[in-house]
A and B are shown apart, each in its own frame.
Chain A
Amino acid sequence: MTALLDLQSVSVSIGKVALLDGISLSVARGQILGLVGESGSGKSLTAMAAMGLLPLIGGRVTQGAVRFDGQDMAAMTEAERRKLRGGRIGFVTQNPMTALDPVQRIGEQVDVVSRLHLGLDRKAARARTLDLLTQLRIPEAAAVAEAWPHQLSGGMKQRIVIAMALAGEPDLIIADEPTTALDVTVQAQIIQILGNLVREKGVALMLITHDMGVVAQICDRVAVLYGGRLAEEGAVAPIFAAPAHPYTSALIGCIPQEGMAKGALRGIPGAVPSALAFPTGCRFHPRCDRASELCRSTVPPTDPRGDGRVACHHPGALA
């Protein structure tokens, strides 16, 4: 499978602060990549880099390349990148409550995408919008299109955001924690909608989450970020069976299991390091029970493991 989105050892800084350090990952059509890590690990920044939107937050790619469908995004003109955004790359934000323009009607906010990227006229764009809303199981699509954002619930708004992401017939959808702000029951629906899209339309999906349960449920591959670096990457099944990186196994240990004894659910001690003061060597070593002198002094190289990669001096054995 050829990669649709391909990040090749991308480093990102905001101002003088280096936040991402040599991240490599890729997503192919029809594939779901889960991008996992705690808050502050660089997940959202990776998404912004993939969209070419870093300048919005004062950031820039300092090293490496972001390739979309084989093309280096840094070599494109801004107009070409703009055509990708909303056109070939759809984006679903973290917080649907604040994602819509509060003073514009729902329908117009969706229409604009297909008018801009598919060249549809007003009428055709509205027809497409209504069609998308119906596909996303939004009842009374015509009435919703005439509604204002504040009249919809969070789950409805997130469906609208997904409709906007789909309106330009994208090849890739980047969803940045699409369920974090929603009720648990709605979360499951949204995840299901996203999963179906990949199966039915063959789009690629980069799903950013901090929920390993969601990853296990729908992702094909998973990339674990820690402190702005890639900790581990590979197919979901082998990684869940035998995580090589201690951080990955710690994250998996955070998923509640059926029949778990009281108090058996583990958290990860310590906190995510600040980008202003990353630890030396392996950035996970202050929280790691396998940490050795080597971990404190030397950055672990990224080694192949199975069909994936891991960056750890003391990786767990393959299953």
Chain B
Amino acid sequence: MLPWLVKRLLMLVPVFLAVSVVIFSILHFIPGDPIDNLLKIGSSPEARAEMEVRYGLDKPLPVQYGIWLGNVLQGDLGTAIVARRPVADLIAQALPHSLRLGGLALLFSTVVGVVLGVVAALNRDRWPDRAIMGGVLVGSTMPSFWLGLILILIFSVSLGWFPVSGARGWQSLVLPVLTIGLGGMALVARITRVSMIEASGRDFVTLLHAKGLSPLRIQLRHVLRHALIPVVTILALRIGWILGGAVTVEVVFARPGLGTLLIKSLSQHDYPVVQACLLMLAMAVMLGTLLGDILQALMDPRVRAALS
């Protein structure tokens, strides 16, 4: 499996390069630039030119890209133009908040989603199944920014159980985690249920019954084991998605984090910060995909055999 892993890691290099080109160039298509935010209104063209030279914005785009990529590869994310601080500091401040939020949301959607999916599958076509699948349908169709506002309205404004915004104490995490996690939970519950029902019909399950194993043991030790393979793959793919999905939710709940930093820097055209944030999210997606592949190989000997 090791040669496969090395090959798989090497394959990330071209993907990383392609992503970096897109991230870099897409920013420069947006009208306006960070200098506008720094200069006083009515500053002279000379002052502007001097600023451009200071931040290296006078050079042709490909050269700028080359310098940026070179620095990034050496671990230097640059200095924020507007915030005037090292980008690494800003990221280091924001990332833990986003990781905590995203991690808890992922945990919530996994645990609750799998449990609901199992309960639904074990009670197939009876009322617990119908109730769970009905709820899941509602949960998976609500956009998270809207869901966040509704949750704030109910639990913060009306009931006063949780704070409306901010990042103080565990209470402030509950609603954002729910907002991000509910969609994932719904997805996980649906996939768990469907793959359990699919796996229950496989030949080897009949033989497990014929061996005299109890139905619950068959469901939990064998059927669920199979059902979790696609669930784990999809969850790993969602890691980047959840970090990115946290963007709007962080803004809705006014929490510090990668999303808030990204939105703020975007509005200020603070290129180095936006590039670094987008790079983080893209890396999360890439690493999530890699993690999904690795976990799948760990869970299924047939996949391992195909890889070596």
Contacts and interface: CB of A to CB of B under 8 A. Distances in A.
A85 B212 contact: yes
A112 B213 contact: yes
Contacts of B302: 102-103, 148, 150
Contacts of B214: 82
A268 B302 CA distance: 42
A148 B300 CA distance: 10
Nearest to B223: A101
Contact of B204 (A53, A98, A150): A98
15 contacts: A56-B206, A56-B209, A83-B212, A86-B213, A91-B210, A101-B204, A101-B222, A102-B204, A102-B301, A116-B213, A117-B212, A148-B301, A151-B305, A164-B211, A168-B212
Interface residues of B, number: 20
Given A53-B210, A86-B212, A116-B213, A95 B301 contact: no
Nearest to B306: A150
Contacts of A93: 203, 206-207, 210
A95 B203 CA distance: 8
Given A103-B226, A151-B305, A98 B210 contact: no
A103 B203 contact: no
B226 A85 contact: no
- Those 7 A-B pairs whose CB atoms lie nearest each other, nearest first: A86-B212, A91-B210, A98-B203, A86-B211, A85-B212, A148-B301, A82-B212
B222 A104 contact: yes
Interface string B73-95: 00000000000000000000000
Contact of B203 (A85, A87, A99): A99
Give the one of A83, A103, A164 with max B CB within 10 A: A103
Contacts of B207: 91, 93, 99-100, 161, 164
Given A98-B203, A102-B204, 9 more contacts: A84-B212, A86-B210, A86-B213, A93-B206, A99-B207, A103-B302, A148-B305, A150-B301, A164-B207
Nearest to B229: A103
Given A101-B222, A103-B299, A150-B305, A113 B211 contact: yes
Contacts of B211: 85-86, 91, 112-113, 116, 164, 168
Give the one of B209, B212, B225, B226 with max A CB within 10 A: B212
Contacts of A112: 211, 213
B131 interface: no
Interface residues of A, number: 29
B208 interface: yes
A116 B209 CA distance: 12
B242 to A, nearest CB: 27
A86 B211 CA distance: 4
B157 to A, nearest CB: 49
A51 interface: yes
B202 interface: yes
Nearest to B207: A99
A110 to B, nearest CB: 10
Interface string B280-308: 00000000000000000001111001000
B206 A53 contact: yes
Contacts of A148: 301-302, 305
Interface in B195-236: 202-204, 206-214, 222, 225-226
Contacts of A84: 212
Interface string A142-167: 00000010110000000001001000
Nearest to B225: A103
Contacts of A100: 204, 207
Nearest to B212: A86
Interface in B225-251: 225-226
Contacts of B209: 53, 56, 85
B277 to A, nearest CB: 39
A87 B212 contact: yes
Interface string A61-98: 00000000000000000000011111100010101001
Contacts of B212: 82-87, 113, 116-117, 168
Contact of B202 (A53, A98, A117): A98
A93 B206 CA distance: 9
A161 B208 CA distance: 11
Contacts of B203: 93, 95, 98-99
Interface string A100-126: 111110000000110011000000000
B286 to A, nearest CB: 27
A144 B299 CA distance: 20
A121 to B, nearest CB: 18
B111 to A, nearest CB: 22
A30 B179 CA distance: 66
A61 to B, nearest CB: 17
B131 to A, nearest CB: 23
A153 to B, nearest CB: 15
A269 to B, nearest CB: 32
A168 B212 CA distance: 10
B28 to A, nearest CB: 49
Interface in B138-170: none
A93 B202 CA distance: 12
